[in-house]
Amino acid sequence: MNGTAISMEKRKILIVDDDDYMRESISETLKRRGHDILAIGDGPSALNILATSSFDLIISDFKMPGMNGIELLEKIRKMDIDTPFLIMTAFGTIDIAVDAVKKGANDFLEKTQDLSTRLDLKVEQLLQYRLLQRENITLKSAITKQWDYVGTAKSIEEIRILVKTVADSRSTVLVTGESGTGKEMVARAIHYQSPRHNKPFVKVNCAALPEGLIESELFGHEKGAFTGALNRRLGKFELASGGTLLLDEIGEMQVSMQAKLLRVLQEREINKVGGDDPIEVDIRLVATTNRDLDKEVKEGRFREDLFYRLNVIRIHLPPLRERKCDIERLVEHFTERFNRENGLAIEGLDNGCMDILNEYDWPGNIRELENALERAVVLTRNGFIKPEMFKMSLYNTGSCADKDALKPGATIAQVEKELIIQTLAYCNDNRTKAANLLGISIRTLRNKLNEYGMAKEQGV
């Protein structure tokens, strides 16, 4: 999310201030940013409004007759309203700030001459926090339900126990496994079973970050730090402070960036791009990868010292082909879900379907099974799914290599090339989907196509 994204999207903000001029001034400033503003002059009126209406942010003056800002805050929190709360005062002291934060305020702002500029920054920060807060509430429920269906194989039972055991700690967790095995789901399960579950869960896809922007994305930047840095920006570490930061596909991170990440993990503080002062961050780090990091370290593509920092607790997810006893249960779950989401009435699988599903090796793991079930449910619509649905999607559209390429005498390179070509065909030349299904990065896929002389025809 860039530094201007929040201000471009309309949000509901409640302003409480007994000073008519200040109330109107703040209202106009935020209205110009495109927000929906309701401004009132006292705490009791605010409580009446909050009893029936919800907001994305509450901004309140500290010193008001009858009910001051902290008293208003206490009553709001007793109403189980978790809306971000910004308290302002013309009489700023450390004591007021500390008291406000202890009682549930998210931030504190003094009414000084540069109020408009600093208010913009605070509002942006708190609205970003609100978006993450809402996303996490939704995902917490979804992940809790999803984690229950993962399976009954011994390996999955052991993972379930391990997740529950490590969730309470602050230790860094490294989740490994092939693409599509559910690594992100495990990371979320760790977060939502931890004491940090009410704080943000922030995901960073290391493979998708442009090399020149990854430092800004992770640590943020100051206004004017580089060409195009028109606003101060919060990095993912700041947004995740107090919660969990997921570094997805950590094995794709450039070596130069690995050194900076190592320093942050050692010192628990970041430096913004263009900033002078270090900023303390409190995060629980979870990293995922489908690469063999032990091998990457030996071959010099991944820092050994960073690997040891990440590899405190390792959770390895087995591929679906090694726990086929869970396929039937997963099929039932996905069928019920797609019925519900699409308003359909699939009753189950016809004879022969489970034989096909159990014989297939699932190179895309649970993600591929999910996609196959969604397609079958949507196309069948009601009654029982026929075996032909899976034969068509799993074998006839090129989701696995041509069987002739697997005959004795074929080289590994030939099989690899055939698999990549067939997977691209299966994904309608969508490189991102193909790379995910193959368990490799987009960069690796691009290099392979260049090697085959196919870059131009595949649009790479």
Quote the pLDDT of residue 140: 60
Q: Do domains 11-130 and 155-318 have the same CATH topology?
A: yes
Beta-carbon contacts of 136 under 8 Å, excluding residues fewer than 6 positions away, are 198, 199, 200, 201, 243
Assess whether pLDDT exceeds 90 at residue 310: yes
Quote the pLDDT of residue 6: 34
113-117, 130-134, 319-323, 340-344, range with greatest mean pLDDT: 319-323
Return the CATH class of domain 11-130: alpha beta
Average pLDDT over residues 185-207: 90
- d(C-alpha 84, C-alpha 81), whole Å: 9
Q: Provide DSSP, 253-322.
A: S-HHHHHHHHHHHHHSEE--BT--S-EE---EEEEEESS-HHHHHHTTSS-HHHHHHHTTEEEEPPPGGG
Q: Which of 217-231, 288-302, 320-334 has the lowest mean pLDDT?
A: 217-231
Average pLDDT over residues 24-38: 90
Average pLDDT over residues 175-179: 94
Phi, psi (5° rounding) for residue 383?
75, -140
- d(C-alpha 415, C-alpha 397), whole Å: 17
Assigned fold of 403-451: Arc Repressor Mutant, subunit A (1.10.10)
pLDDT tens-place string over residues 403-441: 455 555 667 777 777 778 777 776 767 888 888 877 788
Task: Give the pLDDT band of residue 286 (cuts 50, 70, 90).
Answer: very high
Task: Give which of 176, 308, 281 is closest to 218, Cα–Cα.
Answer: 281
Quote the pLDDT of residue 129: 81
Quote the pLDDT of residue 207: 84
Assess whether pLDDT exceeds 70 at residue 9: no
pTM, two decimals, is 0.60
Q: Report the interhelical angle of 412-426 vs 442-451 (nearest 10°).
A: 120
Quote the pLDDT of residue 231: 77
Q: Which value, to the nearest 10 degrees, does the dihedral of the CA atoms of residues 396, 398, 401, 403 take?
A: 20
Assess whether pLDDT exceeds 70 at residue 92: no
Assess whether pLDDT exceeds 50 at residue 457: no
Statement: 321-394 belongs to CATH 1.10.8.60? yes
For residues 235 and 217, is the Cβ–Cβ distance under 8 A?
A: yes
Assess whether pLDDT exceeds 90 at residue 302: yes
Assess whether pLDDT exceeds 70 at residue 306: yes
In order of 59, 173, 183, 326, 331, the CA distances from 151 in angstroms are 47, 21, 14, 5, 11
Assess whether pLDDT exceeds 90 at residue 33: no
User: Looking at per-residue confidence, does 74 or 115 come out higher?
Assistant: 74
Task: Give which of 285, 295, 294, 286 is closest to 315, Cα–Cα.
Answer: 286
Beta-carbon contacts of 126 under 8 Å, excluding residues fewer than 6 positions away, are 57, 84, 86, 106, 107
Where are the chain's structural domains?
A: 11-130, 155-318, 321-394, 403-451
Quote the pLDDT of residue 456: 47
Average pLDDT over residues 155-178: 93
147-151, 232-236, 371-375, range with greatest mean pLDDT: 371-375
Average pLDDT over residues 382-407: 65
Quote the pLDDT of residue 142: 59
Q: Where are the beta strands (DSSP E) in 184-264?
A: 201-205, 220-221, 233-234, 244-248
Give the mean pLDDT of the chain: 84
Q: Which of 2-16, 69-83, 163-177, 229-243 has the lowest mean pLDDT?
A: 2-16
User: Looking at per-residue confidence, does 228 or 71 come out higher?
Assistant: 71
Task: Give the pLDDT band of residue 4 (cuts 50, 70, 90).
Answer: very low
Average pLDDT over residues 62-89: 90
Assigned fold of 155-318: Rossmann fold (3.40.50)
pLDDT tens-place string over residues 161-172: 999 999 999 999
Average pLDDT over residues 448-452: 82
